[in-house]
Structure 1
Amino acid sequence: MTDVDHVLRAQVRHINDLVLRLGEHVTVVSGQVSAVDARQAQTQDALRRLREDFLTFVQETQRANNVQRAETRIGVIKDELEHEFGHHKTVRRTAVGILQAFDIGLVSEQTVRAISEDLMLRTPRYWLAPVLVALASWASDEEDLCGRAVGEAFRRSPGRTSLFFALVLRRQGRTDVAVRWLRHFLNVQDPNRLGREFAVILESAAQGAFGGAGKELVRRRLTSWRGRMLTDGAAAGRQIGRWRAEVESLRTPSADAEFPRLAALSPDWPALDAVLSSARAHERLVEKYRTIMEREPLPEDRIEDAVDDILDRLVSTHDADELPLFRDLALNEAIVAAGGDLAHARSAADRDAAALEETLDYLTLQTTSALTPDSIGVSSATQRMAVAACRPFLSQAHDEFGLAYRGSIPADVRVTFGSSHTIGARTFDLPAWSGSFARPLEELQADLGAHWDAHGRPFVQSLGYQWQGTAAALAGTVLAILFVAGRIDLGFAVVTAVVVGAVWGLVLRIRFRRAAQAQRLAREHLEQAKQVSLRQLAEAAAELTDWHTAFRSAETFSSEARKFIAGLSAAGQAPAPFDSRTVTPPSGAVR
């Protein structure tokens, strides 16, 4: 029995050691699991940030590549333009130079003729080359050569040739003949298919380059065309669409930084942001076009100089063969200007695409003169006249723009909360909560607080130590010891059971205290998060009030914009700089 007792005691000590080591191992494993969970959460967060950084890097790389390709393409296009059409520049510079040379008499007729014939040989298909020959032969009184040169110029470009000689005759003071040429030009024009050179007519009317009679002739013809074309709803609709795009381009940037809490919490923020951005476009519209209409054109001291400027615009107009390259050039320049954003670049290029069409209808030409005067080479005086003429289109576009964004104001502004919190080795995901600012703020805060409590309380409880399973195992172990050892030595069995129970009780106590500590920390963390959410809800409500104030302030410019647009017609009736001016040809002028 002594030997048996000794063996049992040794086995009990061995079991006790195993229990203690098991408790230590459980504690170590529990710590390791917590560490693994924490590292996993950190890894997931790092992967998320890495993914966001990678996507940003890819987008920036793509845009940088787009810019680089566009810059390379711009260089190629300019080289191609220079190679294929560079000689046109020389002819253009020479055309007006010949007229000015005749004015001051510093260049001989032989020199002018030699230059014009040389350029004729170098540019066999360009309309302006035979025009130079005609000027040289006109100055030399070679009627037959002049007639043949004019005929060849007409064959290549009837419209530009007519305008060129009409302006030259006006420049020489032969107004009656110039007006006859102008009438002949207008009689053969189709208002639905006007050449790009027709922009010179608008420029001449704005400057009074053809005198009172010429301006009246142009005014009557344009009024007639306009009346006919306005009966075509599609033609008018296209212009309204372009003006609508112009008004929309004046929308202000996003107000995310101005209303950060509302932007972060409300799913209706994109609609609110778009509405405010649109409302603020009224002020920018008035500022932009008031500057255009109030800008006083600075006329040249002499009408001859003004006509020379118009001639420069005429001869500098791109030929049809050049237009595809210039359209490609415009798109690539837009890509560079947009920082590689292809969608934005194509949108910008499409807005200006009409200026690079081979033919335009009159209404489109007028709208292009108002919106992008530089693209077709007209002055600020012509732009003012075109803006005034486009007043009905702008007015309707402005009204449609206002109706559209006001109709998109959200009837109910919502706010949502749903967040994830890492607490020790566990993650708490607050289920999505949604509320409406149509309810009082106090109700929303109470509802949000109850939502936090309803979902936070079970999470905290889940962190408590689940002692029932461990207690059952302990009870089973104690009973087993009493049953096995009690059959040999009841006293020893009781002692052994007490020791094992005490050890396991210590383990249970440690685990219970650790779980209670985790619960306390989780409760504090969730309470802080709840208070942050309640504060953010109040901030979002305050920002919504500020948004309404900002919207009402922006809307006050809507009526001002309507009044300004209504007054554009009168603003466009200013007299042209040279309406009543006459030309005194210089002594060296051609006959």
Structure 2
Amino acid sequence: MSDTDHGLHRKVERVESLVLRLEQGVGQVGVQVAHVGQRAEEANDRLQKLSQAFEDYVLKAERTANVQRSETRIGVVEGQIEHQFGHYKVVRRVATGMLQGFDLGLVSDDTLRDVGEQLMIETPRYWLAPVLVALRSWLADDQQQCERAVQEAFRRSPSRTSLFMALMLRRQGRVESSLRWLRHYLAALDPNGLGREFAVILESVSQGAFGPAGVEIVRERLEVWRAQLLGDEGREQAQVDRWRAEIERHAGPSSQQRFPRLAAVCPQWPQMDQALSKAAAHDSLIAKYSAMTAEEPAVRERLEDQVDDILDQLVTGYDEEELPLRRELAQHHAVVRNGGDLDAAQRDLGSDLLALDRRLDYLTIQSESALNPDKLGVTRATQRMAVSACHEWFGRAHATYSRDYRATLPADVEAVVETSHTPAGQAFRLPRWTGSFTRPIEELERSLAEHWDRAARPFIDSFAYKWGRNLIAPIAVVAVLLVCVGVMQNPAMLILPILVGGVWAAVLWWQSQNAAARQKEVEDALQLAKLDSVQQLRGAAAEVVDWSGTFRQADSREPAVRALIADLATAGNAPAPFERRVADARAGA
């Protein structure tokens, strides 16, 4: 009987050992699963970072290669321009010097003749070369040669020759002759395809270079062209779109760093951020165009100097033969300027190419003079005149711009909380909670806290020790032992079930304490997460108020922009500096 008791005792010990090992194994498996989950997340994060780093490296390498290729091509294209058209620069410099020689009389007739004839031979297709011969012939009073030279220049470039002669005669005080050339120039133009030199006409009008009569002739022609082109709604809309793009460039940066909590919890944040960014354009527009209207353009003391500046723009402009190479050069410069980003370079080049295109309609030249004066080589005075002429398009673009960003404002600003946590190595996901900031913040905080409590309670309770399930095995074992003791009718053997029950009770108590500690850890972690969510909500509500005030302040500047645009209508009507004076003493003789 003692052997039976001993064998039964060993079996009970083995069962207890197996139960303990099983529980330890289950615990180790849980820990390992948590570690595996954590390692998987870390591996996924590292893989994403590695993938992003590789993509960044590839992009950087590609852009670096683009920059290197463009820098190489810039040198090649500049060499081609210098080789093929470098002699054109000589002609341009000589033209300016010859005009100054008219005033100073320091250059001999023989020198002018030799230089003019030499450049005529070296540049057989360039329109300016025969113009130099004509100037020298005029100075020498050789009418027959002057006429032949003018005819040859006119054959090579009718528009530029006409404009040059109009300006040059105006410079010499030959008003009637200048106006005849000006009429001839304007009559031959097609408003649908004007050359780049037409920007010189706008410059001449803004500076009053042709005098009151010439300015009136140009204005009448421009009004006819404007009425003709505005009959095409597509052309007019294209100019409105151009001004809309100008306004868009004044939009402010994202304000996400200023309102981080709102950006984190509000699904309407992208629309709100965009609306605030666009509303910030009003102040920028006011600053730019107020400064333009307030600036007084520099005025030369002599009309001759003023006309010389305009003539410089005409003679130094690229010839049509140079445009393909100039266009390629502009493309490569845009790539280098944008760090090898081809898309950004193409966007940047979109406006640059306007200054390099062969032909533009009058409306486009007018808009480009207002928006990109440097690219067309016109002064601030011409820009102001062009802005004045374009104020209707500016106003329409600004009205639709303001209407559009206001239309994107959300009707309701909401907060959405939906987070994931891993307390004690176990994944917990808070179900989606949505609240509207139109409700009192106290009500929202209470609703979110209750939502947290409802969602977290079942998860926390799942960590409670399962006494009922864990007591089944020990109760069954102790009951079997008691039955065996009863069968053997040996009261001394009662010590065995008591001992087994006591050990097992100690094990269960230890397990329950561990479960209670783990449950408390999970509950504390989720409580902190709940408090953080509530604080985020409270901070987002405060940022909604700040955002609303900032947006109202930015948006309130819109009427000031409308008033400024209305003032721009008269900004280009200031008297030109030479409207009431003659070119020089010879004109009054």
Aligned residue in 1 for 2:184: 184
2:160, 2:470 → 1: CA distance? Answer: 101
Note the 1:123-162 alignment, pairs <5 A. Answer: 123-162=123-162
Does 1:96 find its partner at 2:133? no
Are 2:423 and 2:526, in contact at CA under 8 Å, matched by a contact in 1? no
Measure how far apart 1:495 and its partner are. Answer: 4.2
Note the 1:193-342 alignment, pairs <5 A. Answer: 193-342=193-342
Measure how far apart 1:6 and its partner are. Answer: 5.0
Distance 1:17 1:485, change over 3 A: farther
AA in 2 matched with 1:445: E
AA in 2 matched with 1:122: E
Aligned residue in 2 for 1:465: 465
Distance 1:237 1:15, change over 3 A: closer
Does 1:405 find its partner at 2:405? yes
Does 1:362 find its partner at 2:340? no
What's the CA shift string for 1:522-547, capped at 9, x where partnerless? 11111111111111112111111111
Note the 1:64-75 alignment, pairs <5 A. Answer: 64-75=64-75
AA in 2 matched with 1:297: P
SS in structure 1 of the partner of residue 173 of structure 2: coil
Aligned residue in 1 for 2:440: 440
1:135, 1:77 → 2: CA distance? Answer: 33
Higher mean C-alpha deviation, range 441-450 or range 117-126 = 117-126
Higher mean C-alpha deviation, range 415-424 or range 480-489 = 480-489
Are 1:172 and 1:585, in contact at CA under 8 Å, matched by a contact in 2? no
Are 1:119 and 1:129, in contact at CA under 8 Å, matched by a contact in 2? yes
Measure how far apart 1:585 and its partner are. Answer: 7.5
Higher mean C-alpha deviation, range 335-344 or range 525-534 = 335-344
2:61, 2:218 → 1: CA distance? Answer: 53
Measure how far apart 1:181 and its partner are. Answer: 0.6
Higher mean C-alpha deviation, range 305-314 or range 11-20 = 11-20
Distance 1:60 1:166, change over 3 A: same
What's the CA shift string for 1:419-447, capped at 9, x where partnerless? 12121211222222222222222222222
SS in structure 2 of the partner of residue 81 of structure 1: helix
Distance 1:252 1:334, change over 3 A: farther
Measure how far apart 1:35 and its partner are. Answer: 3.8
AA in 2 matched with 1:96: T
Aligned residue in 2 for 1:502: 502
Measure how far apart 1:476 and its partner are. Answer: 4.2
1:54, 1:483 → 2: CA distance? Answer: 72
Note the 1:39-50 alignment, pairs <5 A. Answer: 39-50=39-50
AA in 1 matched with 2:120: M
Aligned residue in 1 for 2:553: 553
Are 1:474 and 1:504, in contact at CA under 8 Å, matched by a contact in 2? yes
1:364, 1:74 → 2: CA distance? Answer: 29
Are 1:373 and 1:383, in contact at CA under 8 Å, matched by a contact in 2? yes
Are 1:164 and 1:311, in contact at CA under 8 Å, matched by a contact in 2? yes
Measure how far apart 1:462 and its partner are. Answer: 1.9
1:169, 1:377 → 2: CA distance? Answer: 22
How many correspondences in the alignment?
586
Are 1:41 and 1:422, in contact at CA under 8 Å, matched by a contact in 2? no
Distance 1:343 1:501, change over 3 A: farther
Are 1:242 and 1:351, in contact at CA under 8 Å, matched by a contact in 2? no
1:309, 1:29 → 2: CA distance? Answer: 87
Distance 1:143 1:559, change over 3 A: same
SS in structure 2 of the partner of residue 457 of structure 1: helix
Measure how far apart 1:43 and its partner are. Answer: 3.8
Are 1:8 and 1:485, in contact at CA under 8 Å, matched by a contact in 2? no
Are 1:12 and 1:496, in contact at CA under 8 Å, matched by a contact in 2? no
1:163, 1:373 → 2: CA distance? Answer: 20
Higher mean C-alpha deviation, range 560-569 or range 123-132 = 123-132
2:529, 2:340 → 1: CA distance? Answer: 41
Are 1:460 and 1:523, in contact at CA under 8 Å, matched by a contact in 2? yes
Structure 1 unmatched ranges of 5 or more: 587-591
Measure how far apart 1:310 and its partner are. Answer: 0.6
Are 2:275 and 2:406, in contact at CA under 8 Å, matched by a contact in 1? yes
Measure how far apart 1:78 and its partner are. Answer: 3.0
1:39, 1:490 → 2: CA distance? Answer: 57
Aligned residue in 1 for 2:373: 373
Q: Which has the higher contact order (CA 8 A, sep 6+)?
A: 1
Distance 1:467 1:136, change over 3 A: farther
What's the CA shift string for 1:451-508, capped at 9, x where partnerless? 2112111111222234444333334444555667876786687544444443433333
Measure how far apart 1:128 and its partner are. Answer: 1.7
Measure how far apart 1:101 and its partner are. Answer: 2.5
What's the CA shift string for 1:117-154, capped at 9, x where partnerless? 33333333222222223223333344443333322222
Identity %: 49
Measure how far apart 1:268 and its partner are. Answer: 0.9
SS in structure 2 of the partner of residue 415 of structure 1: strand
Aligned residue in 2 for 1:571: 571
Distance 1:128 1:445, change over 3 A: same
AA in 2 matched with 1:578: F
Distance 1:5 1:555, change over 3 A: closer
Structure 2 unmatched ranges of 5 or more: none
AA in 2 matched with 1:86: G
1:197, 1:394 → 2: CA distance? Answer: 25
Measure how far apart 1:242 and its partner are. Answer: 0.8
Distance 1:424 1:50, change over 3 A: farther
Are 2:31 and 2:425, in contact at CA under 8 Å, matched by a contact in 1? no
Are 2:482 and 2:497, in contact at CA under 8 Å, matched by a contact in 1? yes
SS in structure 2 of the partner of residue 293 of structure 1: helix
AA in 1 matched with 2:80: E
Measure how far apart 1:29 and its partner are. Answer: 4.6
1:366, 1:432 → 2: CA distance? Answer: 55
Note the 1:519-534 alignment, pairs <5 A. Answer: 519-534=519-534
Measure how far apart 1:288 and its partner are. Answer: 0.6
AA in 2 matched with 1:84: Q
Distance 1:324 1:515, change over 3 A: farther
Measure how far apart 1:351 and its partner are. Answer: 3.8
Higher mean C-alpha deviation, range 13-22 or range 501-510 = 13-22
What's the CA shift string for 1:373-413, capped at 9, x where partnerless? 11111111111111111111111111111111122211111
Measure how far apart 1:157 and its partner are. Answer: 1.0
Aligned residue in 1 for 2:512: 512
Distance 1:462 1:345, change over 3 A: farther
SS in structure 2 of the partner of residue 416 of structure 1: strand
TM-score relative to the length of structure 1: 0.91
Aligned residue in 2 for 1:589: none
Distance 1:182 1:6, change over 3 A: closer
What's the CA shift string for 1:327-355, capped at 9, x where partnerless? 34434444444444444443333244433
